[in-house]
């Protein structure tokens, strides 16, 4: 009787092992799934397609070199339409249907704010290029990093630059965004220390003219206007400022005041002398040259460079932790991004080093990717350009 029982147990265990083996093999051979969620349309439309393209180029290179942990990488790209509702729908699909380990490239702060809770609740890792301070103040439990400098750093750099141009009366014109009040508060404090003044006005970015708002602003005689909107509304705002005869200086974010804006306005005199500033890629680095080659662009924008870094970091974190999960990425992304080790600027080299048991320290197309405990990038350089003759001319990087 006892002998029969043992045989039955042995048979049952053998059967379970036989059934389980295909599942184990499938898990080892299934692709590692990651995704981009970028603005292919909407206000961020000039950036999203190229961001998705550069992510695909990294995945292609890694797959050609053998993948990660012996598994192929599968990249899915979705459009957040620069809209929080659309972003949530796309993120739900990526998390619930595609089962991705990481989502990369959310651009608008409003979209990232809406998507982030879905990520930390599902333990999906999120890499973003959004700048609002409030994003890393969310209870994301470590499932988020951003390569874009936060609002505090961006406003400080823009305000310092405006003061260096001799501005004494600065007026910020901005739509309602997650960083609007932060911009007002920080700019006011910064310029006051230098003996300058600051005022702010919030406008409706869906309007077709801002002449009433412009007239209100110009009554205070500002010598510099910080146009802090997105491309579509900034086009209207610059036209109205020109028609109103504003002769002072104008500066705006590089993601809004770009070549598309210049081309769509089509009147060089409207944009002549306008300044744009943005986080500066690590121009001249090997990683930056790879982004140029992958995109076919002579001057890739900061967001494309940052997404290039997102993909490289995520894939190396998966290899470092030997786990293709959001938790594995969360626990290992800083291990491959900072703290010393073999310097690498691409995932293919980084994966080889990790496989050899070496510690790696990644610095990419956007520069060093060192994050604080909240997930904020610790520091970065900024680029300042001025439009002259319809073209962007470098003023300084620093």
Q: Where are the domains of the chain?
A: 31-149+284-368, 151-281+381-397
- State pLDDT tens for residues 307-330: 999 999 999 999 999 999 999 999
Annotate 198-218 with DSSP letters as a single string. EEEEEE-TT-S--HHHHHHHH
In degrees, rounded to 5, the angle at the alpha carbon of residue 306 between the alpha carbons of residues 73 and 388 is: 140
Is the per-residue pLDDT at 9 higher than 70?
no
Q: Note the pLDDT of residue 23.
A: 47
What are the tens digits of pLDDT across the range 379-395?
Answer: 889 999 999 999 999 99
Domain 31-149+284-368 has CATH 3.30.70.141: no
Residue 18 confidence (pLDDT)? 44
Rounded to whole angstroms, the Cα distance separating 316 from 223 reads: 48
> pLDDT tens-digit profile of 186-228?
999 999 999 999 999 999 999 999 999 999 999 999 999 999 9
- Radius of gyration for the alpha carbons in the chain, expressed in angstroms and rounded: 24
First to last CA, the chain: 83
**Listed residue (77, 81, 89, 79) closest to 33, CA to CA:** 77
DSSP per-residue codes, 119-139 = HHHHT-EEEE----HHHHTS-
Residue 357 contacts by C-beta under 8 Å, 6 or more apart in sequence? Answer: none
Distance separating alpha carbons of residues 370 and 360, to the nearest angstrom? 13
- Find, among 306, 280, 297, the residue nearest to 371 by Cα: 306
Nearest CA to 153 among 167, 136, 166, 169?
136
Cα–Cα dist 120/125, whole Å: 7
Q: Please, is 297 exposed, middle or buried when counting C-beta atoms within 10 Å of its C-beta (0-12, 13-18, 19+)?
A: middle
Indicate the pLDDT class of residue 29, thresholds 50, 70 and 90.
confident
Structure confidence at residue 28 (pLDDT): 59
Element (H, E) at 32: strand 32-38
Spatial separation of the C-alpha atoms in residues 274 and 224, rounded to whole Å: 10
Contact indicator for 190, 167 with CB cutoff of 8 Å: no
Looking at the chain, how many residues does it have? Answer: 398
Domain spanning 151-281+381-397: CATH 3.40.50.2300 = yes
Please give the average per-residue pLDDT across 127-143, as a whole number: 95
Q: What is the mean pLDDT of the chain?
A: 93
Which residues does 286 contact at the CB level (< 8 Å), separation at least 6? 345, 346
225-282 pLDDT per residue, tens? 999 999 999 999 999 999 999 999 999 999 899 999 999 999 999 999 999 999 999 9
Across-strand partners of 250? 225
Residue with tokens 């310092």, as numbered in its chain: 160
Q: Count Cα neighbours of 115 within 13 Å in the Cβ-side half-sphere.
A: 38
Q: Is the per-residue pLDDT at 167 higher than 90?
A: yes
Q: Who's near 205: CB < 8 A, 6+ residues apart?
A: 175, 176, 229, 230, 232, 233
Lowest mean pLDDT among 9-18, 31-40, 50-59, 127-136: 9-18
In percent, the amount of the chain with pLDDT more than 90 equals 88
Alpha helices in 33-179 (DSSP H): 48-64, 84-92, 109-122, 133-136, 151-164
Q: Is the pLDDT of residue 10 over 50?
A: no
**For residue 188, what are the contacts with CB-CB under 8 A and spacing of at least 6?**
198, 200
Residue by residue, DSSP assigns 294-311 as HHT-SS--HHHHHHHHHH
Matching fold, domains 31-149+284-368 and 151-281+381-397: yes
pLDDT band at 178 (very low <50, low <70, confident <90, very high): confident
């Amino acid at each position: 009787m006892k002998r029969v029982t043992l045989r039955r147990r042995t048979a049952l265990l053998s059967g379970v092992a036989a059934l389980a083996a295909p599942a184990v093999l499938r898990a080892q051979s299934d692709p590692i799934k990651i995704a981009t969620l970028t603005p292919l349309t909407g206000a961020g439309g000039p950036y999203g397609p190229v961001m998705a393209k550069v992510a695909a180029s990294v995945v292609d290179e890694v797959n050609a070199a053998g993948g990660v942990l012996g598994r192929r990488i599968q990249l899915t790209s979705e459009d957040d339409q620069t809209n929080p509702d659309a972003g949530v729908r796309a993120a739900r699909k990526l998390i619930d249907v595609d089962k991705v380990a990481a989502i990369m490239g959310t651009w608008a702060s409003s979209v990232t704010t809406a998507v982030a809770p879905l990520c930390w609740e599902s333990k999906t890792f999120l890499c973003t290029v959004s700048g609002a301070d409030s994003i890393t103040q969310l209870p994301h439990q470590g499932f988020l990093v951003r390569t874009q400098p936060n609002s505090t750093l961006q406003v400080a750099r823009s305000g310092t630059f405006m003061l260096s141009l001799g501005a004494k009366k600065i007026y910020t014109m901005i739509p309602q965004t997650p960083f609007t009040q932060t911009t007002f508060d920080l700019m006011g404090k910064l310029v006051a220390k230098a003996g300058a003044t600051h005022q702010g006005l919030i406008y409706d970015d869906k309007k077709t003219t801002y002449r009433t708002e412009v007239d209100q602003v110009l009554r205070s005689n500002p010598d510099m206007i910080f146009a802090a909107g997105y491309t579509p509304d900034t086009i209207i705002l610059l036209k109205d400022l020109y028609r109103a005869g504003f002769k002072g200086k104008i500066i705006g974010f590089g993601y809004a005041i770009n070549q598309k804006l210049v081309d769509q306005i089509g009147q060089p005199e409207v944009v002549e002398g306008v300044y744009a500033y943005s986080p500066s890629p690590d121009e001249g680095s090997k990683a930056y040259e790879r982004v140029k080659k992958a995109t076919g662009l002579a001057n890739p924008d900061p967001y494309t460079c940052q997404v290039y870094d997102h993909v490289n970091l995520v894939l190396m974190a998966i290899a470092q932790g030997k786990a293709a999960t959001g938790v594995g990425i969360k626990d290992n992304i800083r291990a491959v991004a900072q703290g010393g080790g073999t310097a690498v600027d691409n995932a293919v080299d980084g994966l080889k080093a990790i496989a050899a048991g070496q510690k790696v320290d990644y610095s990419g197309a956007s520069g060093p990717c060192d994050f604080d405990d909240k997930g904020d990038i610790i520091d970065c350089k900024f680029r300042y350009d001025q439009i002259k003759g319809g073209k962007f001319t470098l003023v300084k990087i620093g």
